[in-house]
A and B are shown apart, each in its own frame.
Chain A
Amino acid sequence: MQSERVVGQPVFRKEGLAKVLGAARYIDDLSMPGMIYGATVRSAIPRGRVLGIEFSPGIPWDEFTIVTAKDIPGKNYIAMINNDWPCLVDGVVNHPQEPILLLAHPDRHLLPQAVAAVHVRYEEMSSVHSIEESERGRTIIWGEDNVLKSYLLEKGDVDAAFAQPDIIIVVGEYTTGAQEHLYIENNGAIAMYDEHAGVTLWGSLQCPFYAHKSLMAVTGLPEDKVRVIQVETGGAFGGKEDYPSMIGAHAALLAMKSGRPVKIVYDRAEDMAATTKRHPSRTRHRTAVTKDGKLLAADIELCLDGGAYSTLSSTVLSRATIHSGGAYFWPNIRVRSKAYATNTPPHGAFRGFGAPQALFATERHMDRVAKAVGLTPEEFRRRNLLLTGETTSTGQVIRQQIDLQGWMERALDCANYREKKARFDRENPDGVRKKGIGFAVFLHGSGFTGSGERYLNSLVGVDATAEGRIRVLVSSTEFGQGTNTILCQIAAETLGVDYDVVEMAPPDTGIVPNSGPTVASRTAMVVGRLVQSAALGLKQTLIASGLLGERYLTEEFQAAAKAHIGKHGGLCSMSRYQAPPDVYWDDQTYRGEAYAAYAWAVYVAEVTVEVTTYSVAVDDFVALQEVGRVLNPVLATGQVEGGVAQGIGYALYEKVSWDRGLMKNNQMTNYIIPTSQDLPKIRVYFEEVPFEHGAYGAKGIGELPMDGPAPAILNAIAHATGEDFNAIPLLPEDIAERLAAGAPAAQEMATV
């Protein structure tokens, strides 16, 4: 392993220099000849019928291109799992900010006024705005019962376990809020149409082939008449998985009608109000545990708020369901999960994809179970953490050599946990600054769930150009996380050439094969592995052709590639996904290998709760994870630091203020994310147990760090204050409400 030259090295980002120099060009930096600008008229009510649309005088309407649902040549939906998400409202509005009508004009400054001058008349209908309201079912807004999707996962005999004598039962309810991605670059797209070439879309996006599929549906054009090109993308976090298909379809519709290239770029207020967020959740745990602290059974009921359309909710719910058991061995477990419809813009993919919600509940609950049986959180976990050879909630046998107990000990040592815990217990009673330390042990499944990777059937290529440069051909995109760099590292390593001569082919559906979406922590493990085998194929071709010896320098490799191209006209090697052997998954019963591999982690948070202002500061953070193989230590560390920061935001700062399905605080002044001044030093540690089917042993890493901070922090706050807080975001206002009940209030002082 240590003999690797490129993999595992902190090589520079492929696109790093251009970004640092300001030369990287994002969607709003691009312009096309004759390009005009598009804008969106959105619904002002959560639910109702559109009675009419009026255009106020004072605007030169004849200069505008106007598109409504009637202008859609193909299907009026964004092609996803259920195809229930309209591209444009056609009669019925189901959430605030739903796109109703599109406008385009050469002068972008005229657009805000024009949007404001379109008046939509509605007949309002009653609407639903929480999981509870949706569950009650007094107003049905989706299907027959408001349930977008439900799952039942069952292992063992849960009811029998709860009926056993001499057990302790612990119950709890945990809730999490919505979260905004707040990528630096807002959503944006440019579309161009001509009769011969069809539609070309340039977009800030994660998944070119998702947009491709939706554009085909909306435009009614065949596969080869739709082309999607990802441009430099300023962050995504899952927020550019589905929505680019929407804004892209809008730009395409305007381009088709106007005959001109059309750019739509949202400003921050529109992006925050109209696009997806993380699903809010409510999870109820009922746990049976023996008096000596062995977990017997879990009965878990998990609900997500999916928003107005089903979009990705079924898959988010699936991941939440599977992660609900956490990193523990459960002889018996039942998870009943449901995603409910509400009249809110659809919630979507966000780093973690259901796992942060599930694991917040589980890891908060485990601290409470530990307390109920009189054990420390660490000793209780030690007795129940999964061991190699045991089975997960879905019955998947852990074949990998894991050492969760050892990793937990290492993380606790790094954090100086035991010494600090004792000291805080001693010192807290006197101070107005209460200190606490807490942790979470968790896992994150790498790649698509269950049979997902098999359906994706990803294809990857590595080729050489006439100039002797090596290219990686994938639809996996770069949006800050390091795709370009690690895939080039893998190719360079396998080919035995310098990293510098390997580059990424343009992320253009007209050029690259479909290697699947850039989501689900799958790029390093699944796509990376395919790059590795495609590269190996390329190398073997050259060796077999006699143009290359067994040992060579980079220049010799390039010369051989050129010679091969001269002789045969090209040099390309493709590799298609093959499921690892012994992988079995049953979509009906939710049994089997949920993921090819899991990454594991132990996160420890140290906090101060200041009881004058009820504010929480995270003072120290230890993040230890086992990720198979670290392909690039700088990028991997960056992923963890960023994920932890985002997790701290999720736990303590980021609150979407809803007003009947509308985000009220859709500006950065009032939607609070932590700044560098609010973050502790994040100390990152890695364990590496190579996964045989991942690229050079790599498993997923991108989402994992989002899962652990919230429960670790809330566990630390429980330690500091002696109070159980079971809902995030946990703001000073919430802590004040609880703690003030016990504080020396003015009334009591009156008796002095």
Chain B
Amino acid sequence: MRSCSAECELLTPGSLEAVLCLLHDEPGLWTPIAGGTEIMVLYGAGKLTERKFVSIAVPELREITEDGGWISVGGGCSFTQIRRHVGIQKHFPMLAQCASWLGGIANQNRGTIGGNLANASPAADSPPALFAYGAELELISARGKRRIPYEEFHLGYKKTALALDELIGTVLLPKRFDDSLRYVRKVGTRNAQAISKICMAATATVKHGHVEEIRIGMGSVAPTPLRLAATERALMGTELTDAAILNVVIWEARRALASETAPIDDIRSTAAYRTLVAGNLLEEMLRTFAGAAR
């Protein structure tokens, strides 16, 4: 441990209301800590700049509920909860899948979806599935609640729409993708306990061989997790069932992808590799969809 616990302060107010009050009264002073699986890594390495923490491990944030057309996942739900939830497995299998890919078992037991999103790593594993499923977020503070599409959450590298006194209260998932085609894949540095070099999830509706709706999320190809809006636009209405046309579609899609992504060289991979594999995954996705649509 390169940090000194005596220098840190941790409050455990115990209820959501008390947490929100604290965050509101002294905005920016207290850093929320949920599972701690991001924070404690920095702590161990002596790289944590914050000193004051408030535990947001409160029951109000740990529920998964189903009502009407939505499943609501509390921001404090662990990936184990998500992975095991029958409703999520049924309606949002790619999210359950991504949860199962995140770190190891211990990590899934502690790490939360709120922490995964708020930490805002471009390599995080849950964002692609959330883009693909059209998720929305409910942000909460002592001032009240507001609801935003997940697409509007990431503003830049490690910058989010969260105000200083706000928490991710709920992740909302619309149950309208049961009949969609889907594709999900994580390319990590190894098969388990791996940070993604690329992670991708997509849903699509293909009618009479034509793409009617498509949503694609991708990680590690830009400063933030990305919804591939340009690629989606390029694919809307295209025909997948004719082999010759499909090749052109794939080429157009790869080009659109290149236009909206900017992978980098880092300690885990290279820009060249990410560019190539992102395109390959996109192609694999389209061939899978085409196969299913035929």
A97 to chain B, nearest CB (A): 15
B152-200 residues at the A interface, CB under 8 angstroms: 187, 189-195, 197
Closest B residue, CB atoms, query A746: B254
Q: A672–B247 contact, CB under 8 A? A: no
Q: A675 with B46: in contact, given A670-B268, A752-B247 (CB under 8 Å)?
A: no
Query: Does any Cβ of A come within 8 Å of B284's Cβ?
Result: yes
Which listed segment binds B: A109-117, A169-177, A229-237? A109-117
A736-752 residues at the B interface, CB under 8 angstroms: 736-737, 740, 746, 749-750, 752
Closest B residue, CB atoms, query A270: B2
Query: Does any Cβ of A come within 8 Å of B5's Cβ?
Result: yes
Closest A residue, CB atoms, query B258: A746
Residues of A within 8 A of B250 (CB): 749
Residues of A within 8 A of B1 (CB): 109, 267
Residues of A within 8 A of B2 (CB): 112, 267, 269
Report how far A749 CA is from B279 CA in the complex, Å. 13
Q: B4–A109 contact, CB under 8 A? A: yes
Q: B267–A657 contact, CB under 8 A? A: yes
Query: Does any Cβ of B come within 8 Å of A674's Cβ?
Result: yes
Query: Does any Cβ of A come within 8 Å of B11's Cβ?
Result: no
B22 to chain A, nearest CB (A): 27
Closest A residue, CB atoms, query B198: A613
Residues of B within 8 A of A672 (CB): 189-190, 194
Query: Does any Cβ of A come within 8 Å of B276's Cβ?
Result: yes
Report how far A653 CA is from B279 CA in the complex, Å. 23
Q: B6–A670 contact, CB under 8 A? A: no
Query: Does any Cβ of B come within 8 Å of A732's Cβ?
Result: yes
Q: B190–A674 contact, CB under 8 A? A: yes
Q: Mark A701-740, 1 if CB is under 8 A from B, else 0.
A: 0000000000000000000000000000000110011001
Q: B267–A670 contact, CB under 8 A? A: yes
Residues of A within 8 A of B254 (CB): 746, 749
Query: Does any Cβ of A come within 8 Å of B270's Cβ?
Result: yes
Q: B46–A112 contact, CB under 8 A? A: yes
Q: Mark B253-281, 1 if CB is under 8 A from A, else 0.
A: 01100100000000111101100110111
B203-249 residues at the A interface, CB under 8 angstroms: 244, 247-248
Report how far A615 CA is from B186 CA in the complex, Å. 12
Residues of A within 8 A of B41 (CB): 669
Query: Does any Cβ of A come within 8 Å of B45's Cβ?
Result: yes
Query: Does any Cβ of B come within 8 Å of A588's Cβ?
Result: no
Residues of B within 8 A of A667 (CB): 45
A133 to chain B, nearest CB (A): 22
Closest B residue, CB atoms, query A617: B191
Residue picked from B190, B194, B272, B284, most chain A C-beta under 10 Å = B190
Q: B276–A677 contact, CB under 8 A? A: no
Query: Does any Cβ of A come within 8 Å of B70's Cβ?
Result: no
- Contact check: which of A615, A669, A678, A749 meets B187 at CB < 8 Å? A615
Residues of B within 8 A of A750 (CB): 251
Q: A752–B248 contact, CB under 8 A? A: yes
Q: B190–A653 contact, CB under 8 A? A: yes
Q: A678–B190 contact, CB under 8 A? A: yes
Residues of A within 8 A of B279 (CB): 746
- Contact check: which of A613, A653, A675 meets B192 at CB < 8 Å? A675
Report how far A665 CA is from B3 CA in the complex, Å. 20
Q: Interface size bucket, B side?
A: 35 or more
B267 to chain A, nearest CB (A): 5
Residues of B within 8 A of A267 (CB): 1-2, 44
Report how far A752 CA is from B249 CA in the complex, Å. 11
Q: B272–A664 contact, CB under 8 A? A: no
Query: Does any Cβ of B come within 8 Å of A614's Cβ?
Result: yes
A37 to chain B, nearest CB (A): 12
Q: Mark A648-692, 1 if CB is under 8 A from B, else 0.
A: 000001000100000011010110101111100000000000000
Q: A612–B251 contact, CB under 8 A? A: no
Q: B272–A736 contact, CB under 8 A? A: yes
B220 to chain A, nearest CB (A): 13
Q: A732 with B273: in contact, given A267-B2, A657-B267, A746-B279 (CB under 8 Å)?
A: yes
Q: A269 with B281: in contact, given A615-B187, A749-B251 (CB under 8 Å)?
A: no
Q: A612 with B281: in contact, given A665-B267, A674-B190, A733-B273 (CB under 8 Å)?
A: yes
Q: A612 with B193: in contact, given A746-B251, A752-B247 (CB under 8 Å)?
A: no
Q: Mark A45-82, 1 if CB is under 8 A from B, else 0.
A: 00000000000000000000000000000000000000
Residues of A within 8 A of B270 (CB): 733
A748 to chain B, nearest CB (A): 9
Q: A736 with B277: in contact, given A613-B187, A746-B254 (CB under 8 Å)?
A: yes
Residues of A within 8 A of B46 (CB): 112
B31 to chain A, nearest CB (A): 20
Q: A612–B191 contact, CB under 8 A? A: no
A306-354 residues at the B interface, CB under 8 angstroms: none
Q: A677 with B284: in contact, given A665-B267, A670-B268, A746-B255 (CB under 8 Å)?
A: no
Q: A110 with B4: in contact, given A613-B280, A672-B189 (CB under 8 Å)?
A: yes
Closest B residue, CB atoms, query A750: B251
B111 to chain A, nearest CB (A): 14
Residues of A within 8 A of B280 (CB): 611-613
Residues of A within 8 A of B193 (CB): 675
Report how far A672 CA is from B193 CA in the complex, Å. 10
A447 to chain B, nearest CB (A): 35
Closest A residue, CB atoms, query B5: A109
Report how far A333 CA is from B1 CA in the complex, Å. 53
Report how far A631 CA is from B254 CA in the complex, Å. 59
Q: A678 with B276: in contact, given A657-B267, A749-B247 (CB under 8 Å)?
A: no
B248 to chain A, nearest CB (A): 6
16 contacts between A and B (CB under 8 A): A109-B5, A109-B6, A110-B4, A267-B1, A269-B45, A432-B284, A612-B277, A612-B280, A615-B187, A669-B41, A675-B192, A675-B193, A732-B273, A733-B269, A736-B272, A749-B248
Extra A-B contacts (10), CB below 8 Å, given A732-B273, A746-B251 = A109-B4, A112-B2, A267-B1, A432-B284, A612-B277, A612-B283, A653-B189, A674-B190, A677-B192, A737-B273
| A contact residues vs B (CB 8 Å cutoff) | 109-110, 112-113, 267, 269, 432, 611-615, 653, 657, 664-665, 667, 669-670, 672, 674-678, 732-733, 736-737, 740, 746, 749-750, 752
Going nearest first, the 7 A-B pairs with the smallest beta carbon separation are A677-B192, A677-B191, A749-B251, A109-B4, A733-B273, A112-B2, A612-B280
